[in-house]
């Protein structure tokens, strides 16, 4: 039956053409975006999985940056530990030379002191991004992975790198004591009086006997600790022996103060008089009184009016290489040699530990890089369009579209045949 009101053939041709146009639009979208799943409406399940994996990829890319920073920090620390090892080896050579009969131990000690200062400089400078692994400040934790369980919960994993303590020890206390003839003693003061003939001015340096009443240096030193007093640009030191370390209270501080007085007197500073006063336990501290006077009658003191008296001490136990600061080949060359093996072992162990950690980070960096590539490949296999297949499909759909248009055109002409029935 023919009808001019209902054209079934045209409706079928139109629906077919619409379907072809829809498929053609999808194919063109794949070609323009390169994806077969570009949004959730394309395939909600695959799209959701791909977005989770893309988030993981972004996370692992940040982890790669974290590991790179950790590797740089370790590299600096490793280089520092190796440099310190080399410097300690040089110190050991000096110590061995000091044990040779007739060696100039004073000059050798000066070389050792210079190498010690260089070690301090290396340890202090060995930081990256504000982190120093060789100064004993602590360990670092480097983000190394993101673990996702079956429920989708993510846990961050880290590689902990243990720091080393290659500090030589340092000035753990430093005070400047000054004042005037009236006996005032205030940290930071200096000799401020211009001396005329017969005038005097002075300061008092107090060695606290642990009563808590003095403003000087506390007692309680260990063997190998060193107490120093600087007068202007000249410095003398007194190293604590085991016998002195065994003493307590004013017995210990008396020994220290008296030893420093002898060393200062040996400097032969014109116009300077140093007087030692023994302390009384629980009552007064051991003191050194510094008096500057015009003793040679020229109305001018050999010590400038702005000269400061500086007292400080080095605690050998404050660093992993603290024993280095107690080495003194001028008084105990054989004892210094005995200490060197342990010091070198400390530096070598630190360098070896950093090397091992660097190996772990390198392996983890390679794994994270490979894992990131695998995740990207997996995402691509789910959402990327097969361009060869899509290209062939596009051409087929274009032909189908042309045929669909032709079919619709034929179907639309069918009612025209009804007119021939009325001629």
| pLDDT value of position 187 | 36
| pLDDT value of position 102 | 86
Compute the average pLDDT of residues 373-400: 85
pLDDT tens readout for residues 321-344: 877 877 888 888 888 888 898 899
Phi, psi dihedral angles at 391 (to 5 degrees): -60, -45
| pLDDT value of position 412 | 83
Question: How many Cα atoms occupy the beta-carbon half-sphere of 22 within 13 Å?
Answer: 7
Find all residues with CB under 8 Å of 103, minimum gap 6, and list them.
Answer: 97, 333
Separation CA 57–CA 186 (nearest Å): 63
Greatest mean pLDDT among 27-41, 278-292, 372-386: 372-386
How far is residue 365 from each of residues 12, 20, 143, 163, 352, measured CA to CA in Å? 60, 49, 11, 21, 20
User: Would the pTM count as exceeding 0.85?
Assistant: no
Out of 92-101, 337-346, 390-399, least confident range: 390-399
Q: Which helix (H) or strand (E) holds 310?
A: strand 309-314
- State yes or no: pLDDT of 135 exceeds 90: no
- State yes or no: pLDDT of 365 exceeds 50: yes
The residue among 208 and 261 whose pLDDT is bigger is: 261
pLDDT tens readout for residues 404-420: 888 888 888 877 777 77
What kind of architecture, by CATH, is found in domain 47-167+334-375? Up-down Bundle (1.20)
Find all residues with CB under 8 Å of 309, minimum gap 6, and list them.
Answer: 176, 177, 178, 203, 205, 229, 230, 231, 290
pLDDT tens readout for residues 171-183: 444 343 333 333 3
Separation CA 331–CA 351 (nearest Å): 32
Question: How many CB atoms are located within 10 Å of the residue 409 CB?
Answer: 11
Q: Which helix (H) or strand (E) holds 402?
A: helix 387-413
| pLDDT value of position 183 | 36
Rounded to the nearest 10 degrees, what angle do helices 44-98 and 105-125 cross at?
170
Q: Where are the domains of the chain?
A: 47-167+334-375, 171-314
Out of 102-111, 201-210, 284-293, least confident range: 201-210
pLDDT tens readout for residues 36-47: 888 788 788 888
Compute the average pLDDT of residues 146-153: 80
């Amino acid at each position: 039956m023919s009808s001019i009101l209902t054209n079934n053939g045209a409706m079928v041709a139109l629906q077919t053409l619409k379907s072809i146009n829809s498929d053609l639009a999808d194919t063109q979208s794949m070609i323009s975006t390169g994806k077969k799943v570009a949004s959730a409406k394309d395939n909600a399940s695959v799209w959701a999985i791909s977005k989770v994996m893309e988030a993981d990829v972004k996370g692992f890319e940040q982890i790669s940056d974290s590991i790179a920073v950790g590797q740089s920090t370790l590299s600096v620390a490793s280089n520092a530990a190796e440099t310190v090892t080399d410097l300690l080896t040089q110190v050991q050579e000096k110590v061995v030379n000091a044990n040779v009969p007739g060696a100039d131990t004073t000059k050798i000690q000066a070389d050792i002191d210079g190498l010690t200062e260089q070690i301090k400089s290396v340890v202090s400078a060995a930081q990256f991004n504000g982190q120093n692994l060789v100064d004993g400040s602590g360990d670092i934790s480097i983000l190394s992975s993101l673990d996702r369980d079956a429920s989708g919960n993510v846990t961050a994993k880290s590689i902990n790198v243990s720091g080393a303590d290659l500090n030589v020890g340092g000035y753990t206390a430093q005070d400047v004591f000054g004042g005037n003839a009236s006996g005032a003693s205030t940290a930071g003061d200096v000799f401020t009086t211009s001396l005329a003939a017969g005038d005097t001015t002075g300061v008092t340096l107090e060695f606290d006997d642990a009563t808590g009443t003095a403003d000087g240096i506390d007692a309680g030193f260990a063997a190998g600790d060193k107490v120093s007093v600087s007068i202007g640009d000249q410095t003398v030191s007194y190293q604590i022996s085991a016998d002195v370390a065994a003493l307590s209270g004013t017995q210990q501080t008396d020994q220290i103060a008296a030893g420093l007085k002898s060393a200062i007197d040996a400097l032969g500073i014109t116009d300077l008089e140093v007087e030692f006063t023994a302390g009384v336990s629980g009552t007064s501290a051991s003191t050194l009184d510094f008096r500057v006077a015009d003793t040679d009658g020229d109305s001018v003191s050999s010590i400038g009016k702005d000269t400061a008296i500086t007292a400080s001490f080095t605690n050998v136990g404050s660093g992993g290489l603290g024993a280095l600061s107690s080495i003194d080949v001028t008084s105990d060359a054989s004892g210094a040699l005995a200490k060197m093996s342990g010091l070198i072992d400390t530096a070598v162990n630190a360098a070896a530990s950093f090397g091992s950690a660097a190996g772990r980070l390198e392996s983890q960096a390679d794994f994270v890089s490979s894992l990131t590539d695998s995740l990207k490949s997996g995402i691509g296999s789910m959402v990327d369009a097969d361009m060869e297949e899509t290209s062939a499909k596009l051409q087929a759909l274009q032909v189908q579209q042309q045929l669909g248009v032709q079919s619709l055109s034929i179907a639309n002409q069918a009612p025209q045949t009804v007119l021939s029935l009325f001629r």
